[in-house]
Amino acid sequence: MVRAPRFRVLGEAGIIVAIDGSPIRRKRQYIIEFLRQRGAEGAFVMEMYRGWENLCARIGKSPGSYENFRASMFQAKEKGIIEAFREEISDHNFNKVFYRLRVR
């Protein structure tokens, strides 16, 4: 039996502090696990992408581009896996949109 990938995410920097189990091979697996750990607090896309970069560096995998990661987020949203639930004003051109696992 293959164990599910496990990791812990610390803070907005998305630092991965532990990996237990087989490596995550798909962004969708990572997104679901990241948001599961965040619970009701959720996370914004850049925060999740930084963690993805960190995880990929630790397992020797190319993280791909930020745009590609956003496309994975969009697909997960379209499939009803995640949902946007909060928006905060940002210093950048766009507001921070927070996502969480879809409440069923």
CATH of the domain at 22: 1.10.10.10
Q: Residue 101: CB partners within 8 Å, gap ≥ 6?
A: 32, 35, 36, 81, 82, 83
For residue 79, is it within any domain? yes
70 pLDDT exceeds 80? Answer: yes
The pLDDT of residue 103 is above 70:
yes
- Domain range for 35 is 6-101
Distance of CA 43 to the CA centre of its chain: 8
64-86: average pLDDT: 96
Q: How many CB atoms lie within 10 A of CB 8?
A: 11
How confident is the model at residue 12, as a pLDDT? 62
pLDDT: is 80 or 10 the higher one? 80
Closest CA to 81 of 49, 103, 53, 96: 103
Number of domains in the chain: 1
pLDDT at 48 (0 to 100): 93
Q: Kindly state whether residue 1 falls inside one of the protein's structural domains.
A: no
Which residue has better confidence, 104 or 35? 35
What pLDDT is stored for residue 42 in this prediction? 94
